[in-house]
Structure 1
Amino acid sequence: MARTTDVTPAALILAGSRPGAPDPLADYAGVAHKALIELDGKTLLARVTAALRRAGIDRIAVSADHPAVVVEALRLSLQVIAPAAGPSGSVAAGLSALGAPLLVTTADHALLRPEWVTRFVADVPAGTDAAVLLARRDVVEAAAPATRRTWLRFADGHWSGCNLFLLATPAAGEAIGLWSQVEADRKRPWRIVRRLGPGLLLRYLLGRLTLGAALRHLGARAGIHAAAVASPYGLAAIDVDKPADLDLVRTLVTR
């Protein structure tokens, strides 16, 4: 497909701290923050940064406020942007600071590879304002049979997010407000579809709504063109949210 932009995007790595109780994953790994978990001698933040740089991205910032993560970010020569309330607020701050096109990922994307990034950006359809990378269940389970995911169930398959987003144009900022509304329901797609009206909700409940159609309608509600991009790389859906994820990723890295 035609690229939506020929400009190399900047990148934002989300590595904020959740308020309240300590992160059980960081406790499990014995570190101050999960971005500092080490795999193969590198912190997760360093691994993600290296993958982005090998994908040709030079302008990279991290949204972080934990002192130890900030120190690691500065060691990696990353720009540090103070996080806002929730991931959507942090993305808005990143877009304001870095501009579009902006690639967004997370510090816990432990297996991130440069070819996933370059393939995603190349596959975003021309004219798209905002895109999200997802992988079908069969692709994910073929690559990592032991993984346990929460699947987005649509007529064209079951999907898992890959923690890669492209805000291709400045207009993508219009979708951030909608993003904040659906954050709490990201693992319950019927609640997200419900926002689009009873007709689409009925199509979803009857198993007739595709993921692409849902995203197009969500984008239209925000006044932008939004698209889903299917990843051929099943491991792109594997992040590190809980101890079982970390154990799996350690096994995959060892292999």
Structure 2
Amino acid sequence: MSSSIPAIVLAGSRPGPDPLLTGTSVSTKALLPIGGHAMLVHVVRALRGSPLIGPITILAQNSAELAAEPGLAGLAGLHFVDSGQGISSSLAAALPPGDDPLLVTTADNVLLMPTMVAEFLAGAEDSDVAVAMVERDVLLARYPESKRTWLKFRGGWWSGANMFRLRGRRVLPLLDFWGRIERDRKKGLKIVAAFGPWLLIGALLRLFTIRQGVARAGLRFGLKAKVVPMSEPEACIDADKPADIELIEAIFAARREAAIGQPL
């Protein structure tokens, strides 16, 4: 991949109270400190550390509040844009003109590393829509205590890794569709069923792999869609629940120890 692509970080708040913020003075999840920094800072630094990523747009209901975060000071190429209430409509409004590719991730994807970005973008080439995912055995081999939402297909159970590559505005019909079902994003079978009865039956009977299922779903919108399996299990550990925070803090501590042990 010879040139960099833009990135969008979804950093808004969902409707209703967030249990992660209970008892804190933090107003929005993206600014909740983990491992010594706000969640958003970890994600933006990882993106900025990748030579494959160009300008970064941060979408949130109150983007000025995020722009004032001291941990982002001095990082180049950051743009802050106010979003609406829905992820899909906000993302659709932020897409650049044309159909050049861009990366989308989330502010709670705090374990993101430049190596993950490189692996994902290499696997996402030649697609209109690509989704990063981790197979269950990959995660549980290292973190058996981690509990995720799994999509069950022939040949494996999969969890999303909060990275997407989109070919610009050609994905607008898909985003419009997602806007109607995103409230069920944690209910795997409801998501599959929304793409039609054949996909639901195929998933229930394990008639095809997740790669085949995602490809079929993309065809509904005239898009070439693919799954990019991630080799690093941390790719699907986002900060959703208090138990996630504990695990992420432990992973950050292990990373710091490993960095200290490396030769100069």
Both proteins in one fold, TM over 0.5: yes
Q: Specify the alignment match of 1:208 in structure 2.
A: 207
Give per-residue Cα distances to partners, 1:205-252, cap 9 Å, x unaligned: 212232112211211111211111100111100000111111111111
Q: Report if aligned partners of 1:134, 1:161 keep a CA contact under 8 Å in 2.
A: yes
Percent of pairs with identical residues: 39
CA contact (8 A) 1:143 1:235 kept: no
Structure 1's 37 and 85: CA in aligned 2 closer, same or farther, altered over 3 A? closer
Consecutive unaligned residues in structure 2, runs of 5 or more: 255-264
Alignment match of 1:72 (pick from 60, 69, 73)? 69
Kindly indicate whether residue 142 of structure 2 is the aligned counterpart of residue 143 of structure 1: yes
TM-score (norm 1): 0.88
2:176 and 2:27 map into 1 onto residues whose CA distance is 31
1:227 aligns with 2:226: yes
**2:38 alignment partner in structure 1:** 43
Q: Residue 32 of structure 1 contacts residue 68 of structure 1 at CA under 8 Å; is this kept in 2?
A: no
Question: How far apart, CA to CA, are the structure 1 residues paired with 2:187 and 2:202?
Answer: 16
What amino acid maps onto 1:40 in structure 2?
G
In 2, Cα distance between the equivalents of 1:247 and 1:30?
Answer: 19
CA RMSD of aligned residues (A): 2.2
What are structure 1's unaligned runs of at least 5 residues? none
Measure the CA separation in 1 of the matches of 2:218 and 2:50.
27
Does 1:53 find its partner at 2:52?
Answer: no
Deviation track 1:79-122 (CA, whole Å, cap 9, x = no partner) reads: 11111231111211221479731101011111110000011001
8 Å CA contact retained: 2:101, 2:168: yes
Matched to 1:34, the amino acid is K
Flag the 1:190–1:59 CA change in 2: closer, same or farther, 3 A: same
The CA deviation string for residues 114-161 of structure 1, in whole angstroms up to 9 with x for no partner, is 0000110011142x1110000000001123222111111111210010
- Aligned to 1:207, the other structure's residue is in SS state coil
Task: Name the amino acid aligned to 2:32.
Answer: I
Corresponding residue number in structure 2 for 1:183: 182
Q: Which residue of 2 aligns with 1:120?
A: 120
How many pairs does the alignment contain? 249
Task: Please give the per-residue CA displacement for 1:140-191, whole angstroms capped at 9, x wherever unaligned.
Answer: 1123222111111111210010000001344223321122233233333332
Q: TM-score normalized by structure 2?
A: 0.86
**1:82: which partner in 2?**
82
- Give the structure 1 partner of residue 10 of structure 2: 14
Deviation track 1:31-61 (CA, whole Å, cap 9, x = no partner) reads: 2222112233321111111100111223001
Alpha carbons 2:100, 2:168 under 8 Å: kept = yes
Given the superposition, is the C-alpha separation of residues 105 and 29 from structure 1 closer, same or farther in structure 2, using an over 3 Å criterion?
farther
Asked if the contact 1:116–1:236 (Cα under 8 Å) also holds between the matched residues in 2, the reply is yes
Q: Any conservation in 2 of the 1:131–1:226 contact (CA below 8 Å)? A: yes
Distance 1:204 1:170 in 2: 29
